[in-house]
Every structure is written in C-alpha cells, then in structure tokens.
Amino acid sequence: MSRKKTLTGKKKIALLVGAATVVGGGAFAMTGTSQASVACDGLVTALQNNERFIADQRATPDAQSEARIANRQAVIEEIKRKQAASGCEVGTGGGEAAQPPAQQPPAQEQPPAEPPAQAPPAEEQPPANGGGEEAGGGDAGAVGEVVCAGSTVTLSGEAGEPAASSNQFPVGTTLKVTNLDNNKSTTVKVASTSGSCALLNNAAFEQVREPGKFLIRKARIERVG
C-alpha cells in the first residue's frame, strides 16, 4: 500500500507566508520601476520645455533674450544632473538648445544703383533776336561788323555815365548804336549783362532818342571794340 504524504498545519502556514512574501516583493519591484520611469519622463519633458524656450528666444530676440537664455541653460544643466543621479538617460530632450538655429548668411548688400548718366546740358544759345522783346536778330560779330541786325533798342533805366548791357557781348566790349530814324548815334562800353543784344542806360539813350519815345525800332548796332 502506498502512503500519502500529508502536511501538518504549521507547514501549510509557512508555505502561505513564503508565497505572499514573493508576490509582495515582486509587486514592490514593479512599483519602484514604474516610479523611476515616471521621474525620467518628467525630467525629459522639463528639458524639452527649456530647450524650446531657448529656441524661441533665439528666433525672436529682444534686449533681455541673452539673460533669459543663460538662465534656462543653467536650468538644463541642473536637469541633466538629476537625470544622471536618477539613473535616467541624460540629455534626451532633443538638443534644440545645444546649437542656435542655423542662421542664413546675410544677403550681400548691393550698392545703390547709380542714376542714369545725365547728358550735359546743351550750352544755352542766345536767341536769334538777342533776347527780350526789344531785340532783333544778329550775332556777336567781329570788330567793325554790324551785329544784331534788325534789333530794337530801349533803355535800362540805370543811371550813371553812358553805358550799355548785353546778352551777347562780354563786359568791356565797345558798341556803336545808331538810331536810323534821326541818325543820332552813341558809342558805349558794355558794362553788364541783360536780356537784349544792346540795352542802353538812361544817359546813353538820351543821346540817340527821339522826343517822347522809349524805343528805337530802327537801329544799327556795330561792334567797334
């Protein structure tokens, strides 16, 4: 006959306690692993948040950005120390703060476009009639030639010794002006510039004028010096 082994009451209690201890120990180990994982995940999230903040400051900097970035970099170093102390993988935030965003090289400044070359202004040519309402036609001919043919002559209203002004003859030129209506003439030097071939001052005009008239319609103007 076979004999069945039976357990006493004390042995049964001992076995149950041992089993409970094994199960409880396993539960404690699993709980500890879960807590460590949560801590590491939290450190990674904190690291990523700080790196993102630094990247934003570099993208849109202001006067305080450098100070803020330095502060956050110190925070990141502290997070990495905690990762190492907790047995977590160090520096898994993505590395956004390790290097500043790639900067595009500034576009080379182009020199301002030069304005189109301006053609030199054409030399102003005196009107054919010597300019002014009173003037006729003619040119600054050689000494002894009749110039400003058909020109009319009037007075400038200037006082002083007999003199003339002209837009065709340089100062110092000597002109002889003859009133063909009365054959009176005066010889004067050009003393200034005017808008006519020959414009007489008051004293010169009195020498050739007709009484009551302020314009010589028929005049001969000669360059005599």
Domain presence at residue 136:
no
Backbone angles phi, psi at 166, to 5 degrees: -155, 155
Q: What is the pLDDT at residue 119?
A: 52
Domain presence at residue 112:
no
Domain presence at residue 115:
no
- In whole angstroms, give the CA distance from residue 175 to residue 154: 14
Render each residue's pLDDT in the chain as its tens digit; 225 residues: 445 555 555 554 444 444 444 344 444 344 455 667 778 888 888 888 889 899 999 999 998 888 889 888 888 888 888 888 888 888 865 554 444 444 555 555 555 555 555 555 544 444 443 333 333 344 566 777 898 887 889 888 889 999 999 988 999 999 999 999 999 999 999 999 887 888 899 999 999 999 988 889 899 999 998
Q: What is the pLDDT at residue 1?
A: 47
| Nearest Cα residue to 169 out of 149, 142, 187 | 142
Domain presence at residue 44:
yes
> Beta-carbon neighbour count of residue 208 at 10 Å?
22
Domain presence at residue 176:
yes
Domain presence at residue 114:
no
- Out of 38, 67, 85, a domain closes at 85
- Amino acid identity at 114: E
The count of domains in the chain is 2
- Out of 52, 68, 85, a domain closes at 85
DSSP 131-162: SSSS--S-----TTSEESTT--EEB----SSS
Range of the domain at 16: 11-85
Sign of the CA dihedral 60, 66, 70, 71? negative
- In whole angstroms, give the CA distance from residue 47 to residue 155: 97
Q: What is the pLDDT at residue 222?
A: 92
Domain presence at residue 120:
no
| Angle subtended by helix axes 9-59 and 65-85, to nearest 10 | 160
- Amino acid identity at 216: I
pTM: 0.39
- Amino acid identity at 205: F
Write the CATH number for 203.
2.40.40.10
Q: What is the pLDDT at residue 47?
A: 82
